Structure 1
Amino acid sequence: MAELNEKKPARRKASTKAEQRAEMIEQILDAAEHLFSQHGLYGVTLKDVAKRISVHHTLINYYFDDKKALFDQVFARRAVVTSERRMRMLDAYEQASAGSPTVEGALRAFLDTDLDLYIEGGEGWRNYAALASQVANTPEWGAAMMDEHFDPVVLRLIGLLKQALPDCAEEDIFWGYHFVTGALMLTLARTGRIDKLSGGLCRSDDFAAVKQRMSTFMAAGFLAICRKGKPA
């Protein structure tokens, strides 16, 4: 699967059973991703997914044990892409910074790399963005999914932030990340609220505008809470 470009060439007819299977699974995942991003896990049935790609629902059951198994694979498909891209960028940034990372530099390696997927990746990646926001805000099972897929890259970011802020209390760095991820998830949800509040001046789907501002804004927050936490 291409990481960014969702404008796929016209499908050639699959020549083997393995190719036919892979193509069908990809169609199912695309359809399910679209529906889950709009209605969530509980608002979608396997029949809904089947209807979207004009197949009988028993075909979905052939490939996936149940709806949760389908949901998990939909989420994992792109989670591995964004997690690996950010890990590579954080590694590259640490090397380029020669042991002297900055807060904003670390955040840009983490945030901008992810936002680029939603800027350049087309409808599929934007559907995934909305889906990730739902998962992150579902305590019952969503937290475990986020832990499974994203803990290594988040802790990699935390390590860089500790290097950039050696005198900052560790709890302040974790709280800072908590605020960062909250803002990111609200952004990915694209609720449209900022559109209404700003009278159209800002758009919730303008990921480029978010990329331009978020890391700078969040870096200032980290620096502020770390200064405040120091003894007089």
Structure 2
Amino acid sequence: MPDGRMNRRGEATRQRLLDAAEKLFAAKGFHGVTVRAIAKDADADPALVAYYFGGKRELFDAVLMRRADILNQIRVAELDACEADAGPGGPSVEKIIKAFTHPMLERSANGGPGWKNYFALVAQITNSPEWGGAVMTKYFDPIATRFLNAIKKTKPDWRDEDIYWSYHFLSGALVLTFAETGRIDNLSGGLCRSSDIASVHERLPKFIAAGFERLQRAD
């Protein structure tokens, strides 16, 4: 078999393993999934997990990195465009929040099951003391810092402490959004749906921007 064809088959197998791991980790967590279960879901030999990734932990890291790299590049581009399109006073806080959250919300709504699984996994590990701090630092701190710097630049007189707390609350809102628990469906009697990401995107930036601004008031 020509090398190019073998390489394509190998890459296809590798991607199936990543997709299967992403789905199963999102559903059951890291400790609830075996290498054998991942390989079965991917229709692959379990030995290929070690061959392509080294082990389950390395596969877990590869799952997180695959979409984080794509997502963070898009978020940086949207934040750059937001600042470039603004007037002399800089963009509004709401527009900065919208630029930061739009790539995630858009892909959750329209990116297919792979992105849904990824965001569910991120929501799960963000809430985990075992994984949350280390994983967020490794994959998402640079883009979070980029976002925070944009806020500080447009609001140089704002208190840093309350900017960081506001970001903390924004992170919590995103985690709950991506978990899609269905709780709001029950509370609202079906008026609202946790899977309605378009409605989240319409409301979340306004809500969070108001929170940022309210915390900065002295009273």
Q: TM-score range by the shorter chain?
A: over 0.9
Of the three residues 51, 76, 82, the one matched with 2:65 is 76
TM-score, normalised to structure 1's length? Answer: 0.88
1:60 counterpart = 2:28: no
State yes or no: 1:142 paired with 2:139: no
Q: Could you tell me how far 1:172 is from its partner in structure 2?
A: 0.5
Q: Residues of 2 paired with 1:160 and 1:61: CA distance?
A: 42
Q: Any idea what the Cα deviations from partners look like across 1:60-80, whole Å, max 9, x if unmatched? A: 222222111111101110011
The match for 2:198 among 192, 199, 208 is 208
Q: Distance between the aligned counterparts of 1:111 and 1:172, measured in 2?
A: 19
- Cα distance in 1 between the residues matched to 2:70 and 2:87: 26
In 1: Cα distance, 2:83 partner to 2:59 partner: 37
* 3-state SS of 1:44 partner: coil
Match of 1:158 among 148, 151, 155: 148
- 2:33 corresponding residue in structure 1: 44
Cα distance in 1 for residues equivalent to 2:85 and 2:48? 50
Deviation string, structure 1 residues 131-182 (Cα, Å, up to 9, x no partner): 1111212222332121121111111111111123222111000100000011
Q: Deviations over 1:198-225 (max 9, x none)?
A: 1111111111110010000000011111
Find the aligned partners of 1:94 and 1:70 in 2 and give their Cα distance. Answer: 36
RMSD: 1.5
| The one of 10, 21, 24 aligned to 1:35 | 24
Q: CA shift at 1:28, angstroms?
A: 0.6
What TM-score results when the alignment is normalised by the length of structure 2? 0.93
| Other-structure match for 1:199 | 189
Taking the aligned partners of 1:161 and 1:211, their CA distance within structure 2 comes to 19
Task: Supply the AA of the counterpart residue of 2:87.
Answer: A
Equivalent residue for 2:82, pick from 90, 93, 98: 93
| Distance apart, 1:15 and its partner CA | 5.3
Aligned mate of 1:118, from 108, 111, 114: 108
Deviates more, 1:25-34 or 1:158-167: 158-167
Aligned partner of 1:188: which letter?
Answer: F
Question: For 1:108 and 1:50, how far apart are their aligned partners in 2?
Answer: 38
SS in 2 for 1:228: coil
Divergent runs of 4+, >4 A: none
The amino acid that maps onto 1:22 is: E
1:216-227 → structure 2 map (5 Å cutoff): 216-227=206-217
Given that residues 13 and 44 in structure 2 are in contact (C-alpha distance below 8 angstroms), is that contact kept between their aligned partners in structure 1?
no
Residue identity in the other structure for 2:203: R
1:103 aligns with 2:86: no
Q: Partners of 1:88 and 1:115 in 2: how far apart?
A: 16
What is the number of residues matched between the two proteins? 216
2: distance between equivalents of 1:63 and 1:69? 9
**Structure 1: stretches of 5+ with no match in the other structure:** 1-13
**Structure 2 unaligned blocks of 5 or more:** none
Distance in 1 between residues matched to 2:182 and 2:13, nearest whole Å = 33
- The answer on whether the counterparts of 1:103 and 1:164 sit within 8 Å (CA) in structure 2 is yes
| Alignment check: 8 A CA contact 2:17 2:44 kept | no
